[in-house]
Each structure stands twice: as C-alpha cells, then as structure tokens.
Structure 1
Amino acid sequence: MIIEGCMTSHAVTPLPPLVLDHPLIKHKLTHLRRAETSTAGFRRLVRELSLLMCYEATRELPLEPIEIQTPLEPMQGEQLAGPDVCFISILRAGNGLLDGMLDLVPFAPVGHIGLYRDPETLEAVEYYLKLPSQVSSRRCIVVDPMLATGHSAAAAITRLKEKGARKLLFTCLLSTPEGIACLQKAHPDVQIMTCSIDRGLDEHSYIVPGLGDAGDRLFGTR
C-alpha cells in the first residue's frame, strides 16, 4: 500500500515542536552522536533517552483517585485512569525507543507500522500494520528516532488516523526543519516532541550533523 506523505491538511495553525532541553538529555544525546560509540553503548543511551522522553510524553495522562492504606494510615492517592495510552513504533528503528518507555509504562499496549521509502518515487510504502484495540480512545505516542524528510512520519500518522487514532504525539530523538515542516503541513494537529532540531539534510536525505543511521547503529547492521 502506497501512502501519501506531506499532503496539505485543512487550514489549522500547526502546533510548535516541543524541544526537550534537559541537561541529561543534551549530555546523553551528545554521546549518542559520537561515531566511536559502540552498538551496546548506542542501545543503552537510546534506552536512557527514551526514559526521559517518556516522562514528558506522558505528562498529560489523566489520573483518578484511589483509596490506599499506608503503613501508618489510610489515604487518598492518585493512579492513571484506565488504559489511556499506547505506543506505536515505526519499524524498525522505532523499536529502539520502546524499551525505556515500557520500563515506565509496562502495561501500555504496543502497535507497529512498517514503512519503506520507494527509491524511485520516494513515496512511503506500507508493509506491516498491527495496532492495539481501542486505538481511537487512547493517547497514541508514536516513536521513531529520526524525523528527516518527514514523509514516513506523515504517512504513518495518516494511516493511524485512518484506523481511528485521534490523540497523537510524535516523538523522536533528532529532527530537521524540513521534516518538521512536512509533518506540520500534513498533520498540524499533531505535536512533535524532539531532543534536537538539527541543521538539515544532506544530498542523501541524512540528518546533519545527525548520528548516522539509527537503525543500523541500534542493530549492528550496515
């Protein structure tokens, strides 16, 4: 299935990207970028960064009161209100961000969407889609390390909306002005959360200065 990427959406003022600037994120992202970082080190850093990103990505989850008993007395606490969140990984590199997020929200269901870019048309082609139930009522946190051209991200979110998803957040480690503009044009209602807006794209559509191919560095492939 071929999915259109940056289609013009209805006239809505796009949500500005949220750039996470915590010192720990900046520190870990710097070491993630280093060419000499090993595969094991790269995976560890991605997991640690995903933990920090998940903390911000889940900030607006609803709570409900619950009566509990402490060792000293009863009290009213708060807990997450029902199965309100799920994670959607854009294969394959998105899976690298899942582990840390699931450490924090282990009960969240996970969906996967597989896309590849046709080398001639540059259109996103879907080869796999498996989503959790009740996706229309959940807050869907879409994960992919890189927002480069934005075409795959836009196509993935288009497909999720076709399946009923309405509350969507796109999270990535690195982004570019081109990718942000593409995703905002197609889906101005979707918030982008990123750790860095890099300079742009090179002639091969790689993010610069970037960190290389996130999937290859995660899985030790070339």
Structure 2
Amino acid sequence: MCKIYPNLYVIQSTFQIRGMHTLIRDSQTTKHDFVFYADRLIRLVVEHGLGHLPFTEKQVTTPTGSVYTGVDFCKRLCGVSVIRSGESMENALRACCKGIKIGKILIHREGDNGQQPQDISDRHVLLLDPILGTGNSAVQAISLLISKGVPESNIIFLNLISAPQGVHVVCKRFPRIKIVTSEIETGLNEDFRVIPGMGEFGDRYFGTDDDDQPVLAPKNRDMKSSTD
C-alpha cells in the first residue's frame, strides 16, 4: 500500500515490534501489560511521525569547542486527539515534545465538536487516533481541522494499526496528509471491526471493559439501581 500511497508510512517491523503487537492483540493480556506495551508502540509511532516535520539547519558549538551542524525542531506544532482512544497517545506526545499544546475532537452522529488551540491554522498538527478502521471518523476529524484553517499538508495522522479500507478512504480524500502507522491490518469484518485487530482499544487501555466492571447489589430492597 505504501507503493500506492506515497503519503503512507509504516514503521519498519522488527521482532520487538512484532512481539509488542502479539501482546496487545492477545485477549488474555492483562490491562497493565496492555497499557505498558501499547505505550511503547505509541512512542515509536510518535517519534516516527515527528521525523516527517519540516526542519531548518542549525549549527551549535560542542563542549570541545567544535562546531556541529544539525537541525532545529519544528516550532509551530500541536497535537489533536480524537476522543476517547486518541487520548491514550497524549502522554507519548508530551514526553517527546515538551510543553506541546494538545486539543481534542469528539466525533458523534450529530456532527463534529472539539477544542483546539486558537492559532491551530498556523501549526503543524499531529492527529492522534490509535485505530484507523473504516476511515469515517478520520475523515470527519481531518475535515474539521481543515475547516479551522489547517493546511492539509500540515496534518500528520498517527495511529497504531490501519485497515486497508480506511487507508484508501483517507488517502483518496486527502492526498496531501501523511499517515504514520505501525502495522497494516487484514481488513474489516462484517461488523466493520478491524481484523485481526486488538478489540476496543479505549476500553482495554482505560480499563472500562464491561466484563471488568463489578456488579454492585443494592444495600436494601428500597434502594433503586443505577439503571432505573
């Protein structure tokens, strides 16, 4: 797919990366281990995404008195996470970019809503969402950023796994954005869930899976349950 879309970047696979994918995809992996290895993978994706930002050459003097010619980091940068799963990627971004501004986008049936930095149109935007499935939510989020004045070429979409269908939808609609992911999936099943996938990422990461929630019985017969 990278040959079809030059704006799609898949980080180079290693046994370490495959091992981490194996753990976070395993339905028997504990929440603690899932978060630990998901965070490691997210950090790799964020670092790779930062490598696609523009740079300027910079010279510094080393402690030996020598001159080193390097590059200066991009100054006008912000992150935007798609609520709620995208919030899992914020810590890795903050760890890589000290003091970075981070906005949020909530996608719902009635339309788009969210909060972004006031000067977002002047910044390069790292859009955070761990799963690219059908591409519908990504299209809504990207469209909202563009409506706020962000140039399409200034958006880098970071995710852990991408379904081919979602890649097609996003890349055809927005050919100038960049997508950075750690693995391309097999596809979508009949329920439009990514396969092989890793389940409901937000529930597993934040520990809100219904199967893990304790069932509390009323203290007496007169007490109404929370579902009444």
Normalised by the size of structure 2, how large is the TM-score? 0.80
Measured in 1, the distance between the counterparts of 2:208 and 2:192 equals 19
CA RMSD of aligned residues (A): 2.1
Measured in 2, the distance between the counterparts of 1:190 and 1:203 equals 28
Q: Which amino acid aligns with 2:120?
A: V
- Could you give the per-residue CA deviations for residues 128-182 of structure 1, whole angstroms, max 9, x where no partner exists? 3111243223221111010011000011000000001110111111111111111
C-alpha contact (below 8 Å) 1:147/1:179 kept by paired residues:
yes
**SS of equivalent to 2:138:** helix
**Counterparts in 2 of 1:30-109, with a 5 A limit?**
30-61=22-53, 62-65=55-58, 67-68=60-61, 70=63, 72-73=64-65, 75-76=67-68, 78=70, 80-81=72-73, 83-109=75-101
Measured in 1, the distance between the counterparts of 2:42 and 2:182 equals 10
User: How many pairs are equivalent?
Assistant: 202
- Could you give the per-residue CA deviations for residues 90-129 of structure 1, whole angstroms, max 9, x where no partner exists? 110001112112211122211111113x3xxxxx732x31
2:141 equivalent to 1:161: no
Partner of 1:121: none
Measured in 2, the distance between the counterparts of 1:192 and 1:27 equals 23
Q: Which has the higher strand share?
A: 1
Cα shift at 1:77? 5.7
Alpha carbons of structure 1 residues 106 and 52: separation in structure 2 relative to 1, 3 Å: same
Which contiguous aligned blocks of 4+ residues in structure 1 show a shift greater than 6 angstroms?
A: none
Normalised by the size of structure 1, how large is the TM-score? 0.82
Query: Gaps (5+ residues) in structure 2?
Result: 210-228
Measured in 1, the distance between the counterparts of 2:25 and 2:120 equals 34
Query: Gaps (5+ residues) in structure 1?
Result: 1-12, 119-123
Q: Which amino acid aligns with 2:8?
A: P
Measured in 2, the distance between the counterparts of 1:136 and 1:145 equals 23
Using CA pairs under 8 Å that are at least 6 residues apart, name the structure with larger relative contact order, 1 or 2: 1
- Could you give the per-residue CA deviations for residues 47-81 of structure 1, whole angstroms, max 9, x where no partner exists? 111211122111133135254562x4364564634
Larger radius of gyration: 2
Q: Which amino acid aligns with 1:191?
A: K
Measured in 2, the distance between the counterparts of 1:79 and 1:207 equals 39
Q: Which amino acid aligns with 1:100?
A: A
C-alpha contact (below 8 Å) 2:122/2:150 kept by paired residues:
yes
Cα shift at 1:32? 1.0
**SS of equivalent to 2:28:** coil
Measured in 2, the distance between the counterparts of 1:86 and 1:45 equals 24
Alpha carbons of structure 1 residues 202 and 60: separation in structure 2 relative to 1, 3 Å: closer
